[in-house]
Structure 1
Amino acid sequence: MKRAKSTSILWVALTFITLNCTSTKENEWVNLFNGKDLEGWIPKITGYPTGENYGETFRVEDGLLTVSYENYYRFDNRFGHLFYEKPFSNYLLRVEYRFVGEQVEGGAAWALRNSGVMLHSQDPYTMQEQQDFPISLEAQFLGGLGEGPRPTGNLCTPGTHVEMDGQLIENHCINANAPTFDGDQWVTMDILVREDKEIAHIINGDTIIRYQNPTIGGSMVANFLPEAKPDGQPLKSGYIALQSESHPIQFRKVMIKELEN
């Protein structure tokens, strides 16, 4: 699949300034996860109404936001997403995550050590009970399998399209120019979002993928309300959601810095 890497000196400078700017109130970090409970977060699991946290899939353990399947017999395509309660448009998001444990029985092979964070997502209350994924952009988290390269930070597009270098990209997933993280080590990913103008995934200060002009369109999302998918509409804002795709994962930080237009 197509790989993307920033080569613009201006873009690198802008990223550096944004990552390090804390001089005004507007640029202060805010913790979306309080380390104690799921206050401010809304679960949506396939097969259940918005707000029902089937099997306590999403929980807090030892101060970590945890995706757990200990109350599942089988996964049975119960794809889950934990939405923060308000939408955002211009921001820098920081997520620290690690994969733990074993994949639950019935999870797909592609979902092994696989999760992500959804950006510019549709409102969780507009999702049907049987809808599998929200219409959104996914910054994908992949854990290494000890079998060679498996880069994290890829882009996947359920019900959406993007442009890269002025070209429309209709592939569902686009690989990032990113490292592989084996084992249960913590990984920090920053995501810079400028409405529909520019979105970048950043690891260790390096921009591993960037894209522009996200719009609603395409497939890879099922059982949605037709009115929730107006194809061709630009995506300039939306909700942030953490994924549950059958492999346990933990988050110790979910932070946001809202930026000026």
Structure 2
Amino acid sequence: MKYFIAVLCTSLMFSSCKEETSSSLFNGKDLSGWHVDVPEMDTIPNTINPFIIRDGMLVSLGTPRGHLITDDIYKDYRLEVEYRFPGEPGNCGVLAHASTPRALYKMFPKSIEVQMQHEDAGDFWVIVEDIEVDNMVERRGPKSEWGITEGKNRRIVNLTDGSEKPLKEWNTMIIECLKDEIKVWVNGDLVNHGFNATVTSGQIALQAEGSEVEFRKINITSIVALSK
């Protein structure tokens, strides 16, 4: 009887979340399901769109700077992104729970950014939203400098070194957003775990932030959290 109860409890623990069918946010042909927010395109004629399709990949050219944002809003999901820097190492990011556009520096939407910058993949950057992690002072700096707006310490350093592949090789980043938690894996390593996020749903955005980045896979899987 005790064995049966133990097995039942284990089964219930692993069935607390149920995954639904995965789908792709990128069809390999065009930007269907996404829209572009690039401030320069508002005022400078003939400004190029920094988000293009090339050889079946979604490419962020890096400039002009801005964001590619999903039309739909998502919550409780696992996002799998395969990306690489094909040229020089640089900066980019995936924004979870994005909402109000241009809320920071008249450029960045309210969100919690998962950093992709070379050698810093998995850092959190809070953008007019916030999240907590273990060892906050060690990983974010003095509490007096924390903040979510311009001039504040918005970076929360990730947990690992060496999780990224060498430059020009493909990386796999998994971002799991469930209730008020966000977990991040890079190439199989758990590199960040945040909780008590101030937001639990929103759009997903990719950045053009100075460096060319290729994306060959952007898949999303909804997670249904079952009541315990």
Per the shorter chain, which TM-score range? 0.7 to 0.9
Partner Cα separation in structure 2 for residue 209 and residue 53 of structure 1: 40
Q: Match for 1:115 among 68, 84, 92?
A: 92
Q: Which has the larger radius of gyration?
A: 2
How many angstroms does 1:53 deviate by? 9.6
**Counterpart pick for 1:137 among 74, 95, 112:** 112
Opposite residue 181 of structure 1, the aligned amino acid is K
Structure 2: which 5+ residue stretches go unaligned? Answer: 1-9, 141-145, 147-152
CA distance in 1, matches of 2:187, 2:46: 33
Residue 55 of structure 1 aligns with which residue?
Answer: 48
Aligned to 1:205: 188
| Structure 1: 5+ residue stretches without partners | 1-12, 70-74, 103-111, 144-149, 216-234
Residue 175 (str. 1) matches residue 157 (str. 2): yes
The SS at the match of 1:48 is helix
Question: Within the alignment, does 1:94 sit opposite 2:76 as a pair?
Answer: no
2:115 and 2:124 in contact (8 A); partners too: yes
* CA-CA distance at 1:151 after TM superposition: 3.4
Tell me which moved more, 177-186 or 85-94.
177-186
Aligned residue pairs: how many? 194
1:44 paired to 2:13:
no
Within 2, Cα distance between the matches of 1:61 and 1:93? 22
What amino acid is the match of 1:207? Answer: L
1:238 and 2:202 matched: yes
SS at match of 1:213: coil
Q: Which residue of 1 aligns with 2:218?
A: 254
Q: What is the identity, as a one-letter code, of the residue corresponding to 1:60?
A: I
| Secondary structure of the structure 2 residue equivalent to 1:257 | strand
1:199/1:211 contact within 8 Å kept: yes
> How many Å separate the matches in 1 of 2:170 and 2:196?
31
TM-score (structure 1 length as normaliser):
0.67
C-alpha distance in 2 between matches for 1:161 and 1:257 = 24
* TM-superposition CA deviations, 1:120-162 (whole Å, max 9, x none): 01154xx48x82111110010022xxxxxx3311111122221
- Residue 171 of structure 2 is matched in structure 1 by 187
Q: Distance in 1 between matches of 2:186 and 2:51?
A: 25
Partner of 1:7: none
- Do the aligned partners of 1:79 and 1:133 also contact (CA within 8 Å) in 2? no
Alpha-carbon RMSD across the aligned residues, in angstroms, is: 2.7
Structure 1 residue 195 displacement after superposition: 2.6
1:240-260 Cα offsets, whole Å, 9 max, x none, are: 000000111110000000111
CA distance in 1, matches of 2:68, 2:134: 32
Aligned counterparts of 1:38 and 1:68: Cα–Cα separation in 2: 14
Match of 2:143 in 1: none
Q: 1:251 to 1:53 in 2, by over 3 A?
A: farther
